[in-house]
Structure 1
Amino acid sequence: MYFWEKLSLWNLVLSCANEAEGFVQWFFQIISNTPEPVIDKITMVLWRIWRARNDMLWNRNSQSATQVIEPALKFLSDWRGVRSNGNSSDSRHETTSQTLNWQKPQAPALKCNIDATIQYDLRTTGMGMALQDSTGSFISARTNAFLGLVGIKEAEARHSRRRLVGLKAWDSKKSSLNQIPN
């Protein structure tokens, strides 16, 4: 309740909750009756609540509502800045703007999509990878982060190298794709 009061969204959240029979129905009720900027804010806060929950569960690190909300709103502000004109309010952000259509690889090949992000305020670089087969079906995904700042292209190159080393070590006859080493 406190999260939503702090964001002046408690009446909206409560009215949708009274009409819903579960989280999914509640969420879609909000999406169908709320302007997009408010949906963005709610989505970011839900993401940070989920992250704070995991941090509490796995690291026993408790966070106040303010510690959850402020990073969510900062992330949303930065995200909007990048989307609106390709620039963030933080001039240190690197952006790449490409419009590409994903294409399935030809069988029996796999396709590995890799992306990286930099959180300057946390001095952290994060990377993610998704592996798909020739039908476009999801096979495996990996993420990792490390302290330190590098450029986006270097971060993607580092992650690509780690994935290639992991795939090289993977024996397709003895392991499933979900057991690809990190």
Structure 2
Amino acid sequence: MDGTLPIVANLRKRGINILGGCKVCGLEEEETLMHAVRSCPKVEEVWRAAHYNLGGQQQSIEAWLQQQLEQQDRDLRGRFVALLWCIWKRRNKAVWEDKTQEASSVVNMADGMIVRWKEAQKATAGAAAGLQRGGQQNGTRTGAPRDKWEAPEEGIIKINVDGATNQAAGLRAWGWIARDHQGEFIKARGVSHRAEWTVEETEALGIRDALSGALAEGWNRVIIESDALSVVRGITRREGGSYLQLVLDDIFSIVESKSDFEVSFCKRSANHVAHTLAKAHVSSPDHVKEYVEVPDCIYSRLAHDTLI
């Protein structure tokens, strides 16, 4: 878990220059996930304001989360997850937008989210969040997908991303490939982990990884394409406390902070190169590989996209 979230320590490993440590409390040491959601002094203020007993320090973030979830009933577990989500959201605003938020506001936001979630469960139908303008919502686009891959406009880099699952081996993977306006290969990356993420979580993690890669490369105008429609639509939804929603919130924060970043839906037929790359990585556990030359596994499919 600690290795996949975009905390300062992990962003630095990816080559993204985030100065300082924790942007919430000003700690100059390297930010860890435990610090970001548990031991940061500003985060402890939130837990105290919410009247939560955090218990003693644990050796790992996983042990602490397990302890908290096991000792609470269903309603308290829901509130705990909502608070985690809002703490993480505040942290993202501090990192990407240089904005601060008081502990009481974080608690109120979490409690309000629980109320809205309960109201939503009673509704007979839902609608996608966000203001819709010709199929585009706050940096995401879901309308009129094409059947084949198309090169972006000059000056824009298009990154196609897809996830893959090996249920029998307990492996999850994703792959992304970046191309320019002429369809020329720029870079690709394949990642696999032994994990129990859902299909949607894996797809979302792939999108977030592609965005992190774009930031690391210093690309300013980027289109991310994914064939996971529910994930692309979910980026603009601002409710829920699941792990998926935490990842989607990270994606939203990055796209919102970069006016020329966009996440779009595409059909599987327009995403077969990324799909092939993801499938090639789903057989090897905990494997990360970056490509500066075209991988053999996608060479013919890449050529096919360029010719049609």
Q: How does the TM-score come out when normalised to structure 2?
A: 0.33
| 1:75 CA drift (Å) | 1.0
Pair 1:163–1:68, CA change in 2 (3 A): same
The correspondence of residues 1-182 of structure 1 with structure 2, limited to 5 A, is 1-9=44-52, 12-13=53-54, 16-18=55-57, 20-83=58-121, 85-86=122-123, 94-95=125-126, 117-118=128-129, 131-133=162-164, 135=166, 137-139=172-174, 140-141=203-204, 142=207, 143=232, 144-145=235-236, 162-164=264-266, 168=270, 172=273, 176=277
Pair 1:33–1:145, CA change in 2 (3 A): closer
- Deviation track 1:15-74 (CA, whole Å, cap 9, x = no partner) reads x334x3232211111111111111111111111111111110111111111222222111
CA–CA distance in structure 1, aligned partners of residues 100 and 68 of structure 2: 28
Q: Which runs of 5+ in 2 are unaligned?
A: 1-43, 132-136, 143-160, 175-202, 208-231, 238-263, 279-308
Q: Aligned-residue CA RMSD in angstroms?
A: 4.1
Q: How does the TM-score come out when normalised to structure 1?
A: 0.53
| 1:2 CA drift (Å) | 1.7
- Deviation track 1:56-108 (CA, whole Å, cap 9, x = no partner) reads 0111111111222222111111112333x336xxxxxx428xxxxxxxxxxxx
SS at match of 2:266: helix
Contact 2:141 2:265 in 1 (8 A): no
- Deviation track 1:101-131 (CA, whole Å, cap 9, x = no partner) reads xxxxxxxxxxxxxxxx4269xxx87979995
Contact 1:52 1:63 in 2 (8 A): yes
Q: Considering Cα pairs closer than 8 Å and 6+ residues apart, tell me whether 1 or 2 has the greater RCO.
A: 2
